[in-house]
Structure 1
Amino acid sequence: MSDTFGQLLRTHRHTAGLTMEQLAERSGVSARAISDMERERSVAPQRRTVQALAEALALPEAQQPAFLAAARAGRPRKTSTAPPGSCALPRPIPDFTGRGGELAQLSRVAAQPASPVAPVMTISGTAGAGKTTLAVQAAHALGAGFTGGTLFVDLRGMDARPVGAAEALARLLSALGRRDDEIPADEADRAGTYRELLHHRQVLVVLDNVADESQVRPLLPGPGPSLTIMTSRRLLAGLEGVHRLNLAQLPVGDAATLLQRIIGDREPGAVREVVELCGRLPLALRIAGNRLMSRPQWTVRHLADRLSDERRRLDQLIAGDLRIAAAFSLSYTQLSPQARRLFRRLSLAPVQDFDARLAESLDPADPAVIEDALDELVELSLLQAHVDGRYRFHNLIRLFARGRLSEEESAAGRDAVVSAVA
């Protein structure tokens, strides 16, 4: 019976008269990883790691093929080492539509040659833009290329108490096969162990619903063949060296196709009208489609007529537990008091896009404070940064902001805002 890779590694190291620490220094592979390989507590390393070890051991050319073959023999063919159901990827959406360019961008990042640091892709955008749906769809499409498996963690970034980095690391380490007694108590040690495991495994990790940069910094991978996809309503501008993808509303054709895939080929003219009234936002289109399917006696024209009343449009975009206003509200509650007030008042801007000077006219605060509030709104994807220092709302978010203005400010306050923009 042939020796395993771990046995060969130990034999060659002893023959070379090297300690694990000395081999680690020569090869650039950590002593912990070498120990795990020799004791066969980890899967076989990637080819470049094996080659680095062979060079550090000064293996004769005649012995290198057997060394590489043993590594290949020990490498898993497919799927995750995770216990069943642990960090499992959600099911894909059967009627997923569009986002071809975005999927192609994710595929290009996944196919990049090995670099000093494993790639990370952030997907940001407003509530309802389809960030999680895109990440899950991409993970299912790309998963076959990741022999170490695909892992998914919802970090619950919009909750009052998001998942902490230490807890997320514990879940991931468990899914990667570490027993509870092998998971370090210290967060920094957990992060180091996680990076070490990803250094030798080809794993696709989806970190969904990120709260902010501090939550995911300990989860960033080091070198290795993994890919991490993060979704967040925030731009996560503080993360360095990541690929960025910002989701906008769907193009008109894709938006109409999505709605028709939900409801069938019906009333194309009214479908286009509903698409525009929903602002081509995937969640709003999903709600509109589900609403029609659950009310077979309704025509698409009937729903379009109901949505045409701006005062009631958000109230119409409810289907069971799906509520477009509730999705926006989660972002709104994350804002500072100053940013909330400006958000409400900007809903009365008399033009489609506006600059900081108009924002200053709506609020008596210091101009620097206004700039900070505008940045906060853009960071949380409640306001879109347009060209040349101008800003604009998504039409449904503007309606949500007007509702907050009506609910939270006095009639006198609203009249003052109207006067300021008159």
Structure 2
Amino acid sequence: MSDTFGQRLREHRHAAGLTMEQLSERSGVSARAISDMERERSVAPQRRTVQALAEALELPETDQPAFLAAARAGRPRPTATVPAGCCALPRPVPDFTGRDRELARLTQVATSAGPAPAAAPVVTVSGAAGTGKTTLAVQAAHLLSTGFPGGTLFLDLRGMDARPAGAPETLARLLSAFGVRDEEIPADGTDRAGMYRELLHHRRVLVVLDNVADESQVRPLLPGPGPSLTVITSRRLLAGLEGVHRLNLAQLPAGDATALLRRIIGDREPGAVDEVSELCGRLPLALRIAGNRLMSRPHWTVRHLADRLSDERRRLDQLIAGDLRIAAAFSLSYTQLSPQARRLFRRLSPAPVADFDASLAASLDPADPESIEDALDELVELSLLQAHVDGRYRFHNLIRLFARERLIEEEPAAGRDSAA
């Protein structure tokens, strides 16, 4: 009998008189994966895959140990820690301010990560565009990194792109980061996920999966039992993920928002700084833009910027600094909506109340009143609306201004008059 797993698999399959397709049907392992194993393009099958093949081949008990040992021998021996520079954390923000409660919660979850068989903890950080989800995750990862001797990994899953990163592609990057050679990465996505979970089983690693599109993109990347910690950021609430710790970011408290702006621009014009902070909706990205704008225009006073921001019709146009644009951040979320949710989002913007319920929303979009609650849920899921108490909803003030701009640009005059 040959020594390699691929050779043994082929010989046992021929002895059983099975084609690859027949073995696939019996075992539940894809024919492509079987082909890759036999050709030794995939030399690292997982235990459950090998066991399923052994059962489908009806191997005698005397042949099973050698079959399983050949599979084990082909598995990679990755490094114990993540190589330096591989999926490295981005640079932390030097003037990070606030989010003490959220950092404390992440620290608490990190310290709870223990050895198997306990499930490795997962934290989702969700919130509207501009709330600082990535900044918080990166800050926490840098602070907690000494507690994860296996290393830290950061991957941007491009959730707002037209083509977000697929789970198999991301798993290949993660396995490469652990030192698995390209030829040893399984072709089958399920086997990749199994190998990744096995690698995390005894390693204390912190993984940040940033900018996640939805549950299906990230579910195969969730760890099994072990001491690792996974932090996921997304504009979506990812309500379909089970057994995760959830942090939902909103605007900063007034004191923290003002402190952030002061850390950027220095101790200047306290009254005007407070006003700019409120006009920015205490949103970290808007505050960053306002601060950068002042720092790049040293002859501007804070009062001058406050006066420019006070005009609601021009406020979003003022919140631009280089490649940072608050309206562009909101637009990425807006493009993810269904046509009805976009229409409702626009038409809700003139509502003369701080919060509203589904009956008001239905009056603004009478074409399909039965789907109004679904559209509202979609807006909440993408963090474009905030779910308030007792079935009521509210806008963040900058998002309301963005919705009003969309109403003016995309609705005919009759539609705008009807909404008003």
Q: TM-score, normalised by structure 2?
A: 0.82
Instruction: Give the alignment partner of residue 356 of structure 1, picking from 355, 358, 361.
Output: 358
Q: Does 1:385 align with 2:387?
A: yes
Q: Does 1:394 align with 2:407?
A: no
Provide the residue aligned with 1:56 in structure 2: none
Q: Does 1:102 align with 2:102?
A: yes
Cα distance in structure 1, aligned partners of 2:86 and 2:161: 22
Cα RMSD for the two superposed structures: 2.0
Number of aligned positions between the proteins? 354
Q: Is the 8 A contact 2:113 2:226 kept in 1?
A: no
Instruction: Give the alignment partner of residue 293 of structure 2, picking from 291, 294, 306.
Output: 291
**DSSP-derived class of the 2:213 partner:** coil
Q: Is the 8 A contact 2:265 2:291 kept in 1?
A: yes
**DSSP-derived class of the 1:86 partner:** coil
Task: Quote how far apart the aligned CAs of 1:186 are.
Answer: 1.0
Unmatched segments (≥5 aa) in structure 1: 1-20, 26-30, 44-75
Cα distance in structure 1, aligned partners of 2:78 and 2:417: 67
1:22-37 equivalent positions in 2, closer than 5 A: 35=72
Provide the residue aligned with 1:276 in structure 2: 278
Q: Would the alpha carbon gap of residues 113 and 85 (structure 1) be closer, same or farther in structure 2, given more than 3 Å must change?
A: closer
Instruction: Give the alignment partner of residue 154 of structure 1, picking from 135, 151, 156.
Output: 156
Task: Quote how far apart the aligned CAs of 1:42 are.
Answer: 4.9
Provide the residue aligned with 1:81 in structure 2: 82
After superposition, what is the alpha-carbon deviation per residue over 1:115-145, rounded to whole angstroms, capped at 9, x for unaligned? 6310000000000000000000000000111
Q: Is the 8 A contact 2:113 2:229 kept in 1?
A: no
The letter of the residue matching 2:214 is D
Cα distance in structure 2, aligned partners of 1:348 and 1:40: 60
Cα distance in structure 1, aligned partners of 2:281 and 2:356: 19
After superposition, what is the alpha-carbon deviation per residue over 1:355-379, rounded to whole angstroms, capped at 9, x for unaligned? 0010011011333300000000000
Provide the residue aligned with 1:59 in structure 2: none
Q: Does 1:92 align with 2:92?
A: yes
Instruction: Give the alignment partner of residue 348 of structure 2, picking from 346, 349, 354.
Output: 346
Q: Is the 8 A contact 2:113 2:121 kept in 1?
A: no
Provide the residue aligned with 2:372 in structure 1: 370
Cα distance in structure 2, aligned partners of 1:407 and 1:267: 37
Task: Quote how far apart the aligned CAs of 1:299 are.
Answer: 0.1
Task: Quote how far apart the aligned CAs of 1:412 are.
Answer: 1.1
Provide the residue aligned with 1:144 in structure 2: 146
Instruction: Give the alignment partner of residue 198 of structure 1, picking from 191, 197, 200.
Output: 200
Cα distance in structure 2, aligned partners of 1:394 and 1:96: 22
Task: Quote how far apart the aligned CAs of 1:200 are.
Answer: 1.5
Instruction: Give the alignment partner of residue 334 of structure 1, picking from 325, 333, 336.
Output: 336
After superposition, what is the alpha-carbon deviation per residue over 1:331-351, rounded to whole angstroms, capped at 9, x for unaligned? 000000000000000001110
1:244-323 equivalent positions in 2, closer than 5 A: 244-323=246-325
Provide the residue aligned with 1:46 in structure 2: none
After superposition, what is the alpha-carbon deviation per residue over 1:139-167, rounded to whole angstroms, capped at 9, x for unaligned? 00001110110000000000000011111
Task: Quote how far apart the aligned CAs of 1:233 are.
Answer: 0.1
Provide the residue aligned with 1:215 in structure 2: 217
Provide the residue aligned with 1:182 in structure 2: 184
The letter of the residue matching 1:234 is R
Cα distance in structure 1, aligned partners of 2:362 and 2:113: 48
Instruction: Give the alignment partner of residue 408 of structure 2, picking from 397, 402, 406.
Output: 406
Provide the residue aligned with 1:50 in structure 2: none
Tell me the percent identity. 80
The letter of the residue matching 2:348 is L
Q: Does 1:41 align with 2:43?
A: no
Q: TM-score, normalised by structure 1?
A: 0.81
**DSSP-derived class of the 2:327 partner:** helix
Cα distance in structure 1, aligned partners of 2:356 and 2:164: 34
Task: Quote how far apart the aligned CAs of 1:41 are.
Answer: 2.1
The letter of the residue matching 2:304 is H
**DSSP-derived class of the 1:153 partner:** strand
Unmatched segments (≥5 aa) in structure 2: 1-46, 52-67
Task: Quote how far apart the aligned CAs of 1:81 are.
Answer: 2.6
